């Protein structure tokens, strides 16, 4: 038997072990090659599919690259003003307590302009899930400094590296959130290796289960990459992230009650 016929034999429906979930739409993603958003979208879609909550989930998309998330995940969506996704999610979950409401926000959206919204939503302990994608830069607008940009990191607005004397220190939002009594589950994950993706999926599942049991706010930070903003290849971006971001933003669960 030649190699090609053998492969054709393996490729059949009953041998399928991994494929695209039906919750993820066929639209081609507009993200740059290697963008972490794609992996996170996929993980959220897979969890929604496995839990069978597609018609009961409402997402709130932010302003940023992921503003077009509604083109990719086949659920109900709302689109909030910059940083105001937690406020919109609060209203949605209070008016429709049987729904699974989540916000999907980047670091420019959540940590900067939406800082007040997220802190108060967490303090109130709203029954929502928050996905916070931290790539230490403003991706969509051309790689400017974000509150989470690391010390010395070169961006469009800090061409000589971030000087903490002038611009303050990189913000550890997740640590701040974990201190608030309203939150139930606060974790920091990544999505660069198969193992990390599996862990992220477990965390997302737990977060949606918390919503089902009316337990309160679950907060998942995902340390991600922005290869266009960082001016690195996708593979090099992952290496840079491991070397520089993980020591300052250590992975792990900070709070699980």
Partner 1 sequence: MAKFKGAIVVDTEKCKGCGLCVVACPTKVIELARDVNGKGYHYAHMANADACIGCSSCGLVCPDTVITVYRVKAS
Question: In the complex, what is the shortest distance from the CB of residue 232 to partner 1, in angstroms, rounded to a whole number?
Answer: 12
242 versus 255: smaller Cβ distance to partner 1: 242
Provide CB contacts within 8 A for 21, sequence distance 6+. Answer: 42, 45, 46, 49
Token pair of 91 as six digits: 């209203």
Q: State yes or no: residue 24 binds partner 1 (CB under 8 A).
A: yes
Nearer to partner 1, 43 or 220 (CB): 43
Q: Which is nearer to partner 1, 40 or 136 (CB)?
A: 40
Report the candidate in 182, 177, 181 with the shortest Cα–Cα distance to residue 221.
Answer: 177
For the segment 3-22, give every residue that binds partner 1 (CB under 8 A): 3, 6-7, 9-12, 15-20
Determine, following the binding rule CB under 8 A, whether residue 31 of this chain makes contact with partner 1. yes
Q: Does 74 bind partner 1 (CB under 8 A)?
A: no
Nearest distance in Å: CB 44, partner 1: 12
**How many residues at the interface with partner 1, by CB under 8 A?**
37
Classify the C-alpha dihedral 137-141-147-152 as positive or negative.
positive
Among 42, 99, 162, 199, contact with partner 1 (rule: CB under 8 A)? 42
Q: Which is nearer to partner 1, 172 or 199 (CB)?
A: 199
How many Cβ atoms are within 10 Å of 176's Cβ, its own excluded?
15
Nearest to 100 by CA among 42, 23, 48: 48
How far is residue 184's CA from residue 63's CA, in Å, rounded to a whole number? 26
Nearest residue (CB) to partner 1, 17 versus 95: 17
Within 10 A of 14 (CB to CB), how many other CB atoms are there?
Answer: 4
- Select from 198, 162, 181, 173 the least CA-distant residue to 116: 173
Q: Which is nearer to partner 1, 187 or 228 (CB)?
A: 228
- Backbone dihedral angles phi then psi of residue 53, each to the nearest 5 degrees: -120, 25
Q: What 3-state DSSP class applies to 131? A: strand
Tokens of 106: 């980047």
Q: How far is the CB of 240 from partner 1 (least distance, A)?
A: 14
Report in angstroms how near the CB of residue 225 gets to partner 1 at its nearest. Answer: 10
In the list 96, 164, 235, 257, the residue contacting partner 1 (rule: CB under 8 A) is: 235
Would you tell me which residues interact with partner 1 (CB under 8 A)?
3, 6-7, 9-12, 15-20, 24, 28-29, 31-39, 42, 191-194, 197-198, 227, 233-235, 238
């Amino acid at each position: 038997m030649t190699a090609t016929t053998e492969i054709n034999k393996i490729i059949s429906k009953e041998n399928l072990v991994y494929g695209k979930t039906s919750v993820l739409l066929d639209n081609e993603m507009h993200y740059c090659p290697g963008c972490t958003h794609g992996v996170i979208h996929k993980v959220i879609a897979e969890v929604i599919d496995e839990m069978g909550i597609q018609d009961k989930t409402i997402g709130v998309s932010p302003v940023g690259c992921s503003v077009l998330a509604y083109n990719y995940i086949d659920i109900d969506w709302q689109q909030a003003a910059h940083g105001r996704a937690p406020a919109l999610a609060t209203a949605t979950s209070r008016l429709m307590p049987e729904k699974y409401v989540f916000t999907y926000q980047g670091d420019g959206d959540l940590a900067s302009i939406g800082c007040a919204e997220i802190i108060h939503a967490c303090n109130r302990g709203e029954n929502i899930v928050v996905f916070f994608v931290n790539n230490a830069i403003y991706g969509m607008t051309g790689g400017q400094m974000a509150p989470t940009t690391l010390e010395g990191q070169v961006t469009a607005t800090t061409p000589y590296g971030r000087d903490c004397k002038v611009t303050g220190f990189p913000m550890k939002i997740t640590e701040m959130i974990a201190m608030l009594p309203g939150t139930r589950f606060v974790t920091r994950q990544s999505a660069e290796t198969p193992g990390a993706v599996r862990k992220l999926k477990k965390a997302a599942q737990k977060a949606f289960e918390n919503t089902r049991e009316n337990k309160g706010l679950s907060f998942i930070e995902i340390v991600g990459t922005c290869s266009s903003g960082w001016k690195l290849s996708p593979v090099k971006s992952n290496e840079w992230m491991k070397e520089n971001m993980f020591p300052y933003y250590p992975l792990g669960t900070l709070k699980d009650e």
